[in-house]
Chain A
Amino acid sequence: MRIATLAAAVAVIVCAMGLVAVERPKPKTHTVIIEGMRFQPESLTVARGDTIVWVNKDMFPHTATSEGGRFDSQSIQAEKSWTFTAGKKGEFAYTCTFHPTMKAVLYVK
């Protein structure tokens, strides 16, 4: 009987740990491909703590620079990448400072 009670208690604790794990998902990594003078996807929604990797697949440098100064990759050379961890909620429109026709937006929830 005591063993059964103990087993049940352990089971409850294990379940509770599982719930905690579900409530706090691990940060994810998202990828934005820069190719053909475009950010793909042009609109991306992430959670706070998530990481975004911009990969430059074009043949020349680009930047990922938010308009409000929240983030700025500086020059990302061809075939290189830049990583940013989203720390603050908000809507961040960004561009490539070299090629201002390139526009995209990052939403941090």
Chain B
Amino acid sequence: MKTAAVTVAVAGVFLLPVAGPSAQGVNDAQIASTVVTANQVDIDAGRLAASRSTNGEVKTFARLMVTDHTGVNKSATDLAAKLKVTPQDNPTSQSLKADGDKNLAHLKTLKGTAFDKAYIDHEVAYHQQVIDALDRTLIPGATNEELKALLVKVRPAFVAHLEHAKRLQASAAPKG
């Protein structure tokens, strides 16, 4: 999957110029990179939680994150290939990656309910962060209509995941 995306990315460089930055200061190539990175970060955290958590509901949520975000990434990389857009590293994607790596390193030091709490708390913050980015930068910034449509279509999934994570967060909170 990664190799295919890189091959497409390299081929794309020579085919079409990248669209210029929009009013939001991002171009479609940067948006594509941000989307792919955002999904990959959550897939990695989900894989760790699916194997490490001992809570059935947390495991189910983690597996759902892996499945859903893998599906979104397939659509995003397929569209980037079709549009011959080369995903381009940018401060947002780099920050997402750095935060994701930091989260994974922290989670690996934890076990049991402490692990579950840290994973779910981060999932709540992460999904909120991505929804904010979609609303403020990514959707208004996308110049290609198909890319914009994909972002609009995927937004409800992030909202549903956020609600799901918040429900788990509330059910795990100490009562009274």
A-side residues, CB < 8 A to B, are: 35-38, 58-61, 78, 98-102
Contacts and interface: CB of A to CB of B under 8 A. Distances in A.
Contacts of A101: 160, 163-164
Contacts of A100: 164
A24 to B, nearest CB: 41
Contacts of B155: 36
Contacts, number: 40
Contacts of A59: 68, 71-72, 74-75, 153-154, 157
A37 B160 CA distance: 8
A78 B156 contact: no
Interface residue tally on B, bucketed by range: 10 to 19
A61 B75 contact: no
Given A59-B153, A101-B163, 18 more contacts: A36-B155, A37-B157, A58-B153, A59-B71, A59-B72, A59-B74, A59-B154, A60-B71, A60-B72, A61-B67, A61-B71, A78-B71, A78-B75, A98-B67, A99-B64, A99-B164, A100-B164, A102-B160
Tell me the interface secondary structure of chain A in the complex. loop
Given A99-B160, A101-B160, A101-B164, A35 B153 contact: yes
A35 B156 CA distance: 9
Q: Which 6 pairs between the two chains have the least Cβ-Cβ distance?
A: A60-B71, A37-B156, A59-B71, A60-B68, A59-B75, A36-B156
A98 B157 CA distance: 11
Interface in B147-166: 153-157, 159-160, 163-164
13 contacts: A37-B159, A59-B71, A59-B72, A60-B68, A60-B70, A60-B71, A61-B67, A61-B71, A99-B160, A100-B164, A101-B160, A101-B163, A101-B164
